[in-house]
Structure 1
Amino acid sequence: MIFCTMGLYASDACSAVYSALKNNLLYAMIFVMLLRCDFRKLAKLGGRMIAIFLGCSLTLGLGFLVFYPVFMGPLGGGEKTWAAVAALYASWVGGSANMAAMQDALPVDSGAYSCALALDTVCYSVWIALLLLAVRYANKWNKATKANTSGLDAIAAAANAEVEKDKARKATSGDWIFLIGLSLLVSAISQSVGAAMNAGLANVGLDMFDKGTCTTVFVTVLGLICAMTPLGKLPAVEEMSNIYLYAVVSLLASTASVTDLLSAPMWVVYGMLVLVLHVVVMFILSKIFHWDLCMVSTASLANIGGSASAPIVATAYDASFAGIGVLMGVLGAAIGNLLGLGMGAILHMFV
């Protein structure tokens, strides 16, 4: 962003390199990221844990929708911000990789994207601290909601067994080369299929689905299907998806100026209010369904921080709950892109 502000990237050559790299790496990242999302593993969570996770996803989405009309102007105007807010919501359903994945599926403004990243960073840091602080008040929450914690140990054991299976596999140089080649091949094929889908849908009057949206949906579905094949057992999948994520975020930041962050404080306020509403509604749902604070906190952080962050809060309650946090984060990665597209369709109505 600093180099962009200084004008170092303002050349036709840099623009050509950016265009060539961004989409190829972006769709490769989505595919590799979703290879972890085997729904057979996620079934180990059980219906109750999945319901808590989806409750967190929906209450966060409610917060974004309720406060967006109020903050649309201060954030920078509806035309510039609706897609960035939808991308941010995708990020808050399973981690930052989902936000990057939305970059081509929606017309995300680079300046608004930078502010959304600032919101994500600040709110995530505050939120994880508050969730860890709340551990000492778990008994009060559970008493108020009459929480049902029976069966947690069995779910934790099943989830941990799945996580340990993945850790046992060690990647070789051949695995890395195969995964890179496969992901880039899938990226190229997906872009061709996305263009064909876009043309076909336009012919039947559904031209609101542009090439980026069609490609994102296709590669998401393909990744989820491949996750249930031997490809889903490839080692180094998580490491490779992180490498792609760092590369994609760096590319996106290279088109944004530091001056775009001037409206970032209002974005942070917006994010904090979303979290406040999230807590209030989740407490009401917990009263109705008797959800305990441990799983609510774990699901909340699995949404906002992804599979790498959720175990931090889960293990603050019990070391054996780490696997539940990981699988919740994986569930978010699986559905985040689709929920982000849905949020984008709704927010676009405000423009």
Structure 2
Amino acid sequence: MPAPVLFGFLFCIIAAVLTTAASLRPFWKRFYEIVPTTLLCYFLPSLLNTAHLADPAAVDALYAVVTRILLPCSLVLFTLGIDIGAFRRLGRTAVVMFGASAVSIMVGGPLAVWTLAHVAPSLVGGQGPDAVWRGLATLAGTWIGGGANQTALKEVFQPSNALFSAIVTVDVLVANLWLGVLLYGAARAPRIDRWLGADASAVEEVRRRVEAQKQARPLEPITLTPLVQVLSVGFGATALATAIADPLAGYINANHPLLSRFSLGTPFFWLVGLATAIGVGVSFTRLRRLESAGASTIATVLLYVMIATIGLKMNILAIADQPGLVVVALLWMAFHVGIMLLVCRLLRAPYFFLAVGSQACIGGPATAPIVAAAFHPALAPVGVLMAILGYAVGTYMGYACGILMQLAAP
């Protein structure tokens, strides 16, 4: 399918899911008690890719539009009505859980390599540029930070092109599977919080205050003028952020290469950071009244489009192409999840922080706000801020992880 056809098809999938989710029929009510709408909007498009019905070039084109235009626009619209005071209580726990996420990935990789070196050494062996640990080191970069960190570590550890391509495939598969698990868990957060013995009062306070604000400012009838105003703020802020981000990143790369090591030379880093900052800034102005004109509703529509587009990048059958590397990555992920669960139990931190902290590292700014918004649209900025931390530490922690995996390899 070419990009325009694919885009229309995605909207049909989203419409079908949301329409059936709103149905009062007993079958659909029971079905959506088990399967969240976000997970279904993520899974169904993946079937198109698995069946080779989606043109890879079209998927890449849509993904570029979604991440560079729709994502920053939705962040602005989600944050323009934000209550900053309610978020202050989230600060310390959010940072601690992000740290736990990054450290668990840095430690989990060497543990996975060490374990398999004793059980199935062929899975983590290899010599020279084909040594598996070299490819896994680049995976550590993207799982802690992002694509820029992965590229930096590729230059440092020099894996072969064939190995690096396989690692990219494994990254897409395992990271997207984990995203699906997190979205599924978001719909069952209260049950998971009870199992964790978590204190979710801070997250619940944010939800309550946002809902109270919505009730105090009921939605106005959607008419042309306020709708255009909402879109102009969202896309106008996106344009402003892009206009600043691209030349700023270029300037940093050309004149301050040291800062590039912290991924500050990445345009996407500045794009999502500036879009979030603009949205927060707008929340202190009269434009915050646009929330009652449906700003967060429009942002939610964009959110579903983002989820569906990301689903297009997943091929369910790809696990058969790289079974050995997939086993390594899944074991690595298991160590990461186990450590995160342990930290959550010790801190009594709610599942929200586990999910967003994990996705901030594994998925980065493109998907962390999606996971956060699955709990409540107003929480999307938390995902962005946590993911930005990953850019700052991804290269250094990824390098340390790579060295440890080299020592653990057979």
The equivalent residue for 2:281 is 229
Secondary structure in 2 aligned to 1:299?
helix
Instruction: Confirm or deny: 8 A CA contact 1:42 1:331 kept in the other structure.
Output: no
Equivalent of 1:88 in 143, 160, 172:
143
Computing the radius of gyration from Cα coordinates, the structure with the larger value is 2
2:94 is matched with which residue? 53
The answer as to whether partners of 2:63 and 2:310 remain within 8 angstroms in 1 is yes
In the aligned structure 2, how far is the partner of 1:85 from the partner of 1:222?
A: 26
In 2 relative to 1, CA 82–341 (structure 1 residues): closer, same or farther, beyond 3 Å? farther
Offset, 1:332: 1.8
1:72-113 Cα distance to aligned partner (Å, 9 max, x none): 6749834434444443346xxxxxxxxxxx345642856434
Inter-CA distance 28–309: structure 2 relative to 1 (3 Å threshold): closer
Corresponding residue number in structure 2 for 1:296: 350
- Identity value in percent: 8
Give the match for residue 332 of structure 1: 383
The one of 61, 65, 68 equivalent to 1:27 is 68
In structure 2, relative to structure 1, the CA distance for the partners of 1:248 and 1:191 (3 Å cut) is farther
Find the residue that maps to 1:227 and give its secondary structure: helix
Structure-1 separation of matches of 2:67 and 2:201: 42
Structure 2 gap ranges (5+): 1-45, 114-122, 126-130, 155-163, 360-367, 404-410
* Higher mean C-alpha displacement, 161-170 vs 117-126: 161-170
Task: Answer 1 or 2: higher relative contact order, Cα 8 Å, separation at least 6.
Answer: 1
User: In structure 2, how many angstroms separate the alpha carbons of the residues matched to 1:124 and 1:18?
Assistant: 18
Which residue is equivalent to 1:265? 327
- Counterpart of 1:56, as a letter, is M
CA RMSD after TM alignment: 4.9
Pair 38,88 (structure 1): closer, same or farther in 2 beyond 3 Å:
farther
| Structure 1 range deviating more: 213-222 or 78-87 | 78-87
C-alpha distance in 1, partners of 2:82/2:265? Answer: 27
Q: TM-score, normalised by structure 1?
A: 0.63
Residues 1:267 and 1:150: Cα distance change in structure 2 (over 3 Å): closer
In 2, Cα distance between equivalents of 1:52 and 1:328: 14
Alignment of 1:187 onto 2:238:
no
**What is the correspondence of 1:1-351 to structure 2 with a 5 Å cutoff?**
26-35=67-76, 36-37=78-79, 41-47=83-89, 49-71=90-112, 74=124, 77-89=132-144, 102-103=146-147, 106-107=150-151, 111-124=166-179, 128=184, 132=188, 135=191, 138=194, 142=197, 156-162=207-213, 168=219, 174=228, 175-176=230-231, 179-180=234-235, 183=238, 186-187=241-242, 189-202=244-257, 208=261, 213-230=265-282, 235=295, 236-240=298-302, 242-243=304-305, 246-247=308-309, 250=312, 261-262=322-323, 263-284=325-346, 286=347, 291=348, 296-304=350-358, 326-349=377-400, 350=402
Q: Which stretch of the first structure deviates more once superposed, 118-127 or 54-63?
A: 118-127
**2: CA distance, partners of 1:129 / 1:25:** 24
User: 1:237/1:103 Cα in 2 relative to 1: closer, same or farther (>3 Å)?
Assistant: farther
| 1:131–1:297 contact (8 Å) kept in structure 2 | no
Answer with 37-46 or 63-72: which moved more: 37-46
Q: Which amino acid aligns with 2:191?
A: V
TM-score by length of 2: 0.55
Query: How many aligned residue pairs are there?
Result: 304
